[in-house]
Structure 1
Amino acid sequence: MSPVFSHGSLRLYLLSLLAEGPKHGYELIQSLSERFGGTYSPSAGTIYPRLGKLEEEGLVTKESDGRKTVYSITDAGRRELEERRGDLDAIELELTDSVRRLADEVRIGVTDAMRSLKADLASAARQATQAASGAPSVSTEEPDLRTRSRIALHDADTVIAQFRQQLRSDLRGQVETGALTDATVRQLRDDLDRVRNGIRATFGTTTE
């Protein structure tokens, strides 16, 4: 995934990493992961196509080092970095915001998972106590349904968080070109309302 970078930002940031010294693809992935505290790690399918594009533009070169391909920035690449120093500073600020946002989402996800786990353990403990005392037990089907619902909720939270990250990246890319308008925001609101109503329709109940 690449939702934490707006359009064109990752390309420039890769150049800045190579300006620190030659690196192979895995080292670049590791460097990005470290800068995000492990909350974001780009895939090889994200990194290598951009490196290939940078090579085509003459901004980086590559050479084989055993079984690895090492990339180095060229003089042209350094000139572009210098010319776009302001853009790079803006990307650093953007990354600071992204790291904070991703960390918040991770904390929320962990907190929700712990709450669900505690509820499941409490339910299991009550059933065990009832079984040991010979007291009438509630149907085992309902707790199972609740457990599955909690797991589904956690999965839904993950899907929503990923969608938010990806869409936010798309919108930021449009800001750079001045293409984001009120009409886009209205369209977004209408589409999200339709999606929400469609999801609510699957609940089998009427809600206001």
Structure 2
Amino acid sequence: MTPPVFAHGNLRLYLLALLEERPRHGYELIQALSERFGGTYSPSAGTIYPRLSKLEEEGLVTKSTDGRKTVYEITDAGRAELDARRHELDAIEDDLTDSVRRLADGVRAEVNDAMRSLRAELASAAREAKRQATSASASATAAANATHLESARAVHEADLAINEFRQQLRTDLRTHAHRGSLGPESVALLKSRLAEVRADVLATLAER
């Protein structure tokens, strides 16, 4: 069983630390936590909002409405609690480093398991193709299996490449968004380039 990312009570204190940096709405807090974990962990709304409500009840944060968003801001009482427990934040950061490492190891293990499973499937398909190829009447079937195997391997490799690109780009975008350097022009460029790549790939497939 995977141990929890945050020890009991640590997420509450960490949310105060994030709000001390600047007021944020709930989704921004989720994004900030995801950035701290390099995209390997993203808390759910069901994890964040009840804790924010509890902090508000305790008078440690306040909330206000900005359009359709609810913005949370630390109070003087919240800053006082942070100051009193400042030494605990260093320990929490150490725990987060261990959690990031543990989650990254888990991701690598999942990738390795997927690769081992693929190799086993490839070996099984190769044996089946060899068995069917022993008869002349099965030669066409073997060729079809080989083509299917090649396509399946290509799809798997494409999935790995897309997931790796998505993970790396998501982390980069959130980092720049946190710095305030991500604007609509960057998103428009991303959409345009992705559309171009998709069109190029489909054109290549149409030529086969």
Give the structure-1-normalised TM-score. Answer: 0.62
Q: Is the 8 A contact 1:2 1:42 kept in 2?
A: no
- Pairing 1:134–2:135 present: yes
* Letter in structure 2 aligned against 1:116: S
* Letter in structure 1 aligned against 2:79: R
Structure-1 residue corresponding to 2:24: 23
| Higher fraction of helix | 2
Q: Secondary structure at the match of 2:133?
A: helix
CA distance in 1, matches of 2:92, 2:52: 18
Give the structure-2-normalised TM-score. Answer: 0.62
Structure-2 residue corresponding to 1:71: 72
Unmatched runs of 5 consecutive residues or more in structure 2: 139-208
Q: Secondary structure at the match of 2:118?
A: helix
- Pairing 1:35–2:32 present: no
Instruction: Detail structure 1 runs of 4+ shifted over 3 Å in the superposition.
Output: none
Aligned residue pairs total: 136
Cα 1:75–1:2 shift into 2, 3 Å: farther
* Larger RCO (alpha carbons 8 Å, 6+ apart): 1
CA distance in 2, matches of 1:55, 1:99: 29
* Letter in structure 2 aligned against 1:117: L
Deviation at 1:2, TM superposition (A): 8.7
Structure-2 residue corresponding to 1:206: none
After superposition, give the CA deviation of every residue in 1:89-115 in whole Å (9 maximum; x if it has no partner).
110111111111111111112111111
CA distance in 2, matches of 1:5, 1:109: 22
CA distance in 2, matches of 1:133, 1:23: 67
CA distance in 2, matches of 1:115, 1:95: 30
Structure-1 residue corresponding to 2:110: 109
Q: Is the 8 A contact 1:15 1:77 kept in 2?
A: yes
After superposition, give the CA deviation of every residue in 1:58-96 in whole Å (9 maximum; x if it has no partner).
110101111111101111111111110011111011111
Q: Secondary structure at the match of 1:71?
A: strand
Stretch moving more, 81-90 or 121-130:
121-130
Q: Is the 8 A contact 1:25 1:70 kept in 2?
A: yes
CA distance in 2, matches of 1:69, 1:41: 20
Q: Secondary structure at the match of 1:38?
A: coil
Structure-2 residue corresponding to 1:99: 100
CA distance in 2, matches of 1:49, 1:67: 19
- Pairing 1:4–2:12 present: no
Identity of aligned residues (%): 76
CA distance in 2, matches of 1:121, 1:24: 48
